[in-house]
A and B are shown apart, each in its own frame.
Chain A
Amino acid sequence: MQSNDTRIKWVEEPQLGWAGRMYLPLVFGGLTTTARHLVSEKVTVSYPDEEPKLGNKLIYRGVHRLNRDEQGRVKCVACFLCATACPAHCIDILAAESPWEDREKYPQSFTIDELRCIYCGMCEEACPVDAIELTSLYNLTGRSREEMIFDKEKLLSVYDATKDSEPMQSKSLGGTL
């Protein structure tokens, strides 16, 4: 593109007046913002002494869980859609024929690298059977990297721990169960 192109709209920098050149209006403007925050309600909490208040727990994006079906089996059908949608490539699934009569395919192993995950929630969106969900658990800690790679059992245990406080969303959202 040339500088004389007719599609370019050239604008002039506005000329500062006397007050503007003194910077005083801007200084006072900034100080007003500071003063307003001094007196307004605090939004920060002194974690870990104090726990933050989460808004809607059902749409918070924290640690993953693998839901169970009515019979307590893993709900996942190993379709790999979460692994396909995952932008961080943190989901690793090994599929196999299921040992159950009424199901064709199930995940033999299902691991999520919680360190690699960017908590975008795409896996939850992609899941056709609402098997993977993000919980409101945000304080995720571990002593090693290996410990932060969650396997199927661990992800199911997250479900067991959170199912009462955060019921499966599928029903209210028109899901499969």
Chain B
Amino acid sequence: MPCRRSRPYRMGVIEMGHVTVNGIDIEVGPHEHINGIQAAHRAGVEIPHYCWHAGLSVVASCRMCLVESGRKNAETGEVSLLPKVVPACQTPATDGTVFVTDSEKVRAARQMVEEDLLLRHPVDCPICDKAGECSLQDYHFSYGREQRRADIDPFSSRRRPVGESVTLFVDRCVMCTRCVRFTREITGTNELMVINRGAHEEIDTFPGFPLDNKMSGNVVDLCPVGALGDVDFLYSQRVWFMKRHSGVCAGCSTGCSIHVEENQDRVYRIKPRENPHINQWWMCDEGRYGFKYVHDARRLTEPRQRDGETETTLTWDAAIARMDALVRSSQELVVVLSPFLTVEEAYLLATYARQVQPKAVISVGPIPCVGENETFPNGFTIRAEKCPNRRGVEEIASRFQGRLISWESVGDECGAQATVWFTGGYPEANGISSDEASRLAKNRTLIVQDLFASALSEHATLVLPSAAWVERAGSFVNAKDRLQSFTWAVRPPQGVQTEGQMLWRLAGRSGLYRPADILQELGREMSYFAAVLEEVPDTGVDLKLNQLASV
């Protein structure tokens, strides 16, 4: 049966609408509701805008997207334009609509808007964190007047906090009200509002009710200028020094698509990446600010071996040899796959374990859970499962074992003399109590690989440092069975080898770790992952969809 995606429309031929932007003809589907800005984007034409955002309601208040619009007579081909310019964000692009964005009238309108905005703008770009990614700057260079007609000196913006994590530079604001609409429409918390009228308009909060919700960081991304500042990121780095890497958030099992922004192997901030299937344009503050442990000085950075009371540091070559010897000489091997492993690493580890010990038990590590799932009015969910890849790892573990062995039952499953190989990647602590750890470690040989020292690593024969998620490459499967691949953003601290590279060496493969090869192998081996055999786009693939199709 062919894949459903290959024939989206079941009924006959669909009449496509024709929209013209600057003489370029584009097609619009019958049930698509797009506006002039989106239609122009499709034609490769940029229409500047401040207040419009695809995820928010339309207010057409900034007037930056003014264009000429009209209709084309389908029979005669004659174009009749409206006498005045209209906001493109509010003009639907339906069949026969014509947009003109490069006429003299439009140019003059844009210049006027830019000039008006700059009349009251402090132009303190040198100390503004937004400089370099600011719409006001970009549009001024592209569409503004070459010279200022008003003689105004730059000044410092007034500043006041609007919440714990967000600060407001009052005079830099262009009153697009995106942030206000965000708190009204997306989070439903209504903290932000507009006070005063006309030229005295300002964003503010009601006294005693600061911006305090779990998605408040998004207002900083939404702000097209430098009015809303991220307190966490403020003044720590200029944006043009940072490199941006596509990634997947490991904060919870929602698996938001993100951009990791780093400079010289230090992560400075995390921003959401648009993905209509998962997080749309948003992400939660927990994920946004939850990367700090990556640069924690307490991280494990060298392989260590414990023999009775003595502890020695090993080189990686020695550690891998020791590891191999421990695994091969064990009477019984139990592998604990952490929900922080990528599917490639989990698969490599499971195949290696089964290769050297055909009876090895493959189980899943502890799943960190905090509170309950929290869903916002727009459907965005912050999940209680604080790990990125429970689904992927569980599928691999149960495929190898035939059934799912959870962390709770690992103690009962393994024999008294077993060698337990625990993989981690847990931020801060893996949540295993010292009682639990000593019970598990009793008479058994323990190999622990984790980011931080824990009760479990105290009892380990061999302790290996682990790489954090931003240092690894691979794929995560989120709670809704969507697989997303990502590459590493920063290099691990000195002395740390990524799990992938280590397992690649253990498995006797040559060269550098190539997660894409393993993902293909996984796609061929397990029907659950079959969807990855086609290309994995930036927005990920739905593994469930493929399973339905193959039934």
Q: Is A104 an interface residue (CB 8 A)?
A: yes
- Contact string, A77-119, partner B, CB cutoff 8 A, digits 1/0? 1111100100000000001110000111100000000000000
List CB contacts (< 8 Å) of B125-157 with chain A. Answer: 126-127, 156-157
Are A84's CB and B240's CB within 8 A? yes
Are A79's CB and B126's CB within 8 A? yes
Given A102-B156, A104-B156, answer yes or no on A77-B126 (Cβ-Cβ < 8 Å): yes
Q: Is A122 an interface residue (CB 8 A)?
A: no
Secondary structure call for the A interface: loop
- Contact string, B209-251, partner A, CB cutoff 8 A, digits 1/0? 0000000000000000000000000111010110000000000
**Contact residues in A for B127 (Cβ distance below 8 Å):** 77-79, 104-105
Are A96's CB and B238's CB within 8 A? no
Q: Give the shortest distance, in Å, between A18 (CB) and chain B (any CB).
A: 64
List CB contacts (< 8 Å) of A25-83 with chain B. Answer: 77-81
Given A81-B126, A104-B127, A129-B126, answer yes or no on A97-B156 (Cβ-Cβ < 8 Å): no
Q: Give the shortest distance, in Å, between A17 (CB) and chain B (any CB).
A: 60
Are B235's CB and A95's CB within 8 A? yes
Are B235's CB and A96's CB within 8 A? yes
Secondary structure call for the B interface: loop
Closest chain B residue to A128, Cβ basis? B126
Q: Is B266 an interface residue (CB 8 A)?
A: no
Are A95's CB and B236's CB within 8 A? yes
**Contact residues in B for A80 (Cβ distance below 8 Å):** 238, 241
Find B159's partner among A77, A81, A104 (CB 8 Å cutoff). A104
Q: Give A126 to B234 CA distance when docked, in angstroms.
A: 22
Closest chain B residue to A80, Cβ basis? B238
Q: Give A154 to B360 CA distance when docked, in angstroms.
A: 64
**Contact residues in B for A84 (Cβ distance below 8 Å):** 238, 240-241
**Contact residues in A for B236 (Cβ distance below 8 Å):** 95
Q: Give A78 to B126 CA distance when docked, in angstroms.
A: 8
Closest chain A residue to B131, Cβ basis? A79
Find B234's partner among A79, A97, A103, A129 (CB 8 Å cutoff). A97
Q: Give the shortest distance, in Å, between A105 (CB) and chain B (any CB).
A: 4
Question: Which among A103, A104, A129 has the greatest number of chain B C-beta atoms within 10 A?
Answer: A104
Find A97's partner among B126, B157, B235, B241 (CB 8 Å cutoff). B235
**Contact residues in A for B124 (Cβ distance below 8 Å):** 104
Q: Give the shortest distance, in Å, between A118 (CB) and chain B (any CB).
A: 20
Q: Give the shortest distance, in Å, between A79 (CB) and chain B (any CB).
A: 3
Q: Give the shortest distance, in Å, between A121 (CB) and chain B (any CB).
A: 19
Q: Give the shortest distance, in Å, between B70 (CB) and chain A (any CB).
A: 45
Q: Give A80 to B127 CA distance when docked, in angstroms.
A: 9
**Contact residues in B for A97 (Cβ distance below 8 Å):** 234-235
**Contact residues in B for A104 (Cβ distance below 8 Å):** 124, 127, 156-157, 159
**Contact residues in A for B241 (Cβ distance below 8 Å):** 80, 84
Closest chain B residue to A77, Cβ basis? B127
**Contact residues in A for B126 (Cβ distance below 8 Å):** 77, 79, 81, 128-129
Q: Give A6 to B241 CA distance when docked, in angstroms.
A: 48
- Contact string, B151-175, partner A, CB cutoff 8 A, digits 1/0? 0000011010000000000000000
Q: Give A129 to B157 CA distance when docked, in angstroms.
A: 17
Q: Give the shortest distance, in Å, between B53 (CB) and chain A (any CB).
A: 28
Q: Give A96 to B233 CA distance when docked, in angstroms.
A: 11
Closest chain B residue to A102, Cβ basis? B156
List CB contacts (< 8 Å) of B76-104 with chain A. Answer: none
Q: Give A84 to B238 CA distance when docked, in angstroms.
A: 9
Closest chain A residue to B159, Cβ basis? A104
Are B156's CB and A78's CB within 8 A? no
Q: Give A129 to B240 CA distance when docked, in angstroms.
A: 20
- Contact string, B407-447, partner A, CB cutoff 8 A, digits 1/0? 00000000000000000000000000000000000000000
Q: Give A104 to B131 CA distance when docked, in angstroms.
A: 15
Q: Give A97 to B236 CA distance when docked, in angstroms.
A: 10
Question: Which among B127, B159, B234, B238 has the greatest number of chain A C-beta atoms within 10 A?
Answer: B127
Q: Give the shortest distance, in Å, between B358 (CB) and chain A (any CB).
A: 55
Q: Give the shortest distance, in Å, between B79 (CB) and chain A (any CB).
A: 46
Residue positions of A touching B, CB distance < 8 A: 77-81, 84, 95-97, 102-105, 128-129
Chain A to chain B contacts (Cβ below 8 Å), 29 pairs = A77-B126, A77-B127, A78-B127, A78-B235, A79-B126, A79-B127, A79-B238, A80-B238, A80-B241, A81-B126, A84-B238, A84-B240, A84-B241, A95-B235, A95-B236, A96-B235, A97-B234, A97-B235, A102-B156, A103-B156, A104-B124, A104-B127, A104-B156, A104-B157, A104-B159, A105-B127, A105-B235, A128-B126, A129-B126
Chain A to chain B: the 3 pairs with minimum beta-carbon distance, closest first: A79-B126, A105-B127, A95-B235
Seed contacts A78-B235, A129-B126; 5 additional CB < 8 Å A-B pairs = A77-B127, A81-B126, A95-B235, A96-B235, A105-B127
